[in-house]
């Protein structure tokens, strides 16, 4: 089956968007010091605290992710979105929003099958 001009243009557009995404991701500094601290806590603390440590780490990382990706000109500011009464103030809400906007893989939200 022969490809038409629309198919070729679609592939070219997709390739361009992938390159733009990769360039954008490469520009974001990757700081893994928080992960190291969380891992040290997981090793040292009692097994009962593992879920608390893991959820706290995930919550902090997701809050940072939203602070980075949310536009600066949001009415009320980013702080109103992430603050105590904001729409993405809880870990569960952050997971839902991140999932809804493709910022995390679906297995984070629905769990292993």
Rounded to whole angstroms, how far apart are CA atoms 42 and 50?
6
Q: pLDDT tens digits, residue range 55-90?
A: 999 899 889 888 888 888 888 888 888 888 889 899
> Which residue, 1, 59, 57, is CA-closest to 34?
57
The pTM assigned to this predicted structure is 0.63
What are the domain boundaries of the chain?
1-30, 31-110
DSSP E strand boundaries for the chain:
none
46: pLDDT confidence band, cut at 50, 70 and 90? Answer: very high
> What does 5-22 look like in DSSP terms, one character per residue?
HHHHHHHHHHHHHHHHHH
Q: Residue 111 pLDDT > 70, yes or no?
A: no
- Give the DSSP letter of residue 49: G
């Amino acid at each position: 089956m022969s490809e038409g001009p629309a198919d070729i243009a679609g592939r070219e557009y997709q390739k361009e968007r992938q390159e733009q995404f990769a360039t954008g991701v490469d520009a974001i500094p990757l700081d893994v010091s928080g992960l190291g601290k969380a891992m040290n806590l997981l090793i040292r603390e009692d097994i009962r605290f593992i879920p608390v440590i893991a959820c706290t780490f995930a919550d902090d990382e997701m809050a940072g992710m939203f602070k980075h990706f949310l536009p600066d000109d949001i009415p009320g500011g980013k702080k109103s979105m992430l603050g105590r009464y904001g729409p993405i103030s809880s870990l569960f809400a952050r997971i839902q929003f991140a999932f809804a906007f493709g910022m995390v893989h679906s297995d984070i939200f629905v769990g292993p099958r």
